[in-house]
Structure 1
Amino acid sequence: MTVGSNDETTTGRRRDARRNRELLLEAAHKVFTEQGLEAPLDVIARRAEVGNATLYRHFPSRAALVDAVFRDPLTDTMAAGERARAEPDAWTGLTGYLRAVFAVLATDRGANDLMTTHLEGVDSLRTVHTHNRETVELLLHRGREQGSIRADVTPEDVLFALAALGRAVPSLATAVTTEAWHRPLALLLDGLRPSPLAAPLPEPTLTSDQLGDVLRGLGPHRSSRAPGEGSAS
């Protein structure tokens, strides 16, 4: 075999590897969107029309696959947070940011799992959770200064309420419409407004560590498998 043919063979293998990776990422995003992050990995391999060994060669763990699939969408969420931070009016920034987040939570079960729980081993997720907390904290502080947000609400109050409501959003979207989250989110946001009729919030307040424990306890959505789709990997 000549040197030229060796080079062509190597180039062809690299091209096939890139194509397989792209097929896996596309299939994984569709399956995670439909079924959540506990979807069986063999279903993803079959959707991509590759073997399980090919999947594990590209992505040695579920966390590695999740990280690759959702890195760009998580970056988009952080960009929405940056736009909210730049908004002079804190209330406008907060409501716009949360609506952008909930629009994703309602249509993508995989992204919902990521945003409302703690999943170990996904590097980009740690960054977006930190950014999300900082965004909420900044907007609450600014809103209190501007008089648009009640003085006794904490970032943990808001993040807990958002996670709890966010977990219900996919089922709400299925039972009603993908826009049905607007009503419960509006009620939640009204609870952040200062009002002479509002009673003081009772103790105790959640700590940051306690909130993390709560989110870890929620876990991903159960996958909605069709019969014969295989077991979780």
Structure 2
Amino acid sequence: MNEQGLRKDAERNRERLLEAGRKVFAERGLGASLNDVAKAAGVGVGTAYRRFANKDELIDAIFVRQVDELGAILNESLADEDAWRGLVNYLEGTLAIQARDRGMAQILSGSWASLEEYNAQRARLAPLVNRLADRARETGVVRADLTGTDLIFLQIGLTAIATTARDGADHINRADAPELYRRYLGVFLDGIREPATRTELPIPALSTDDTHALLRQTVSGDDVTE
């Protein structure tokens, strides 16, 4: 194979590793190894280590793509002439991704990406989030003290709810358990909207017994069958 062919082959393998890494980390979290990703990508371990020196390099590369996705949602939301609708679109869109992608939620928490990459990518997103919150506040559709950082911490909390519900969903008789975070997003949105409104929440609350079963499973790992 000539040099150009080798470069194309290397780029294809890198792309396969990025796609496989996103899927593996989404399902299993960032505790999965580079070997796991190589297997899912259908390439040898040696090939994986030629494209990425270690798992951290792969995580950083995936993080850049994730930020591209979030940036696209933010820009789309800012382009909406309706400030409230834009804010809701941003929260619903980004939370839907994080709720189904365990790896993204972990990376965005700042626990795994390299500090340099984390700071660089956060610097891309933070001004857009702040602008979204500022616009909603200045047009009077949200409470006067709402900030961009409020939106960030909201997502951290709701992502934790999504992870807890997803991990324990098999132990309760509720097919919509992985969507539980949407109920609490609704509570938050009602809490910040001006003038104050009360909308119908998208899914019912869990029962006391289901909440106990779900939390017991995710905290202790017990197999709850009663």
TM-score (norm 2): 0.70
Deviation at 1:78, TM superposition (A): 0.3
Structure 1 residues 122 and 21: alpha-carbon distance in aligned structure 2, compared to 1, 3 A threshold: farther
Provide, for residues 100-152 of structure 1, a one-character-per-residue CA deviation record: whole Å limited to 9, x for no partner. 10110121111222233354427665444234322332222222222211122
Alignment of 1:1-233 (within 5 A): 8=1, 10=3, 13-121=6-114, 125-173=118-166, 175=169, 176-177=175-176, 178-194=178-194
Separation of aligned partners in 2, 1:10 and 1:154: 52
Separation of aligned partners in 1, 2:34 and 2:128: 34
Structure 1 residues 54 and 88: alpha-carbon distance in aligned structure 2, compared to 1, 3 A threshold: same
Deviation at 1:64, TM superposition (A): 1.8
Deviation at 1:82, TM superposition (A): 0.9
Structure 1 residues 9 and 31: alpha-carbon distance in aligned structure 2, compared to 1, 3 A threshold: same
Aligned residues: 190
* More contact order relative to length (CA 8 Å, sep ≥ 6): 1
Greater helix share, structure number: 2
Aligned-pair RMSD on alpha carbons? 2.8
Name structure 1 gaps, 5 residues minimum: 1-7, 197-233
TM-score (norm 1): 0.68
Name structure 2 gaps, 5 residues minimum: 170-174, 197-226
Separation of aligned partners in 2, 1:27 and 1:146: 43
> Retained in 2: the 8 A contact 1:63–1:120?
yes
Instruction: Report the AA paired with residue 92 of structure 1.
Output: R
> Retained in 1: the 8 A contact 2:29–2:106?
yes
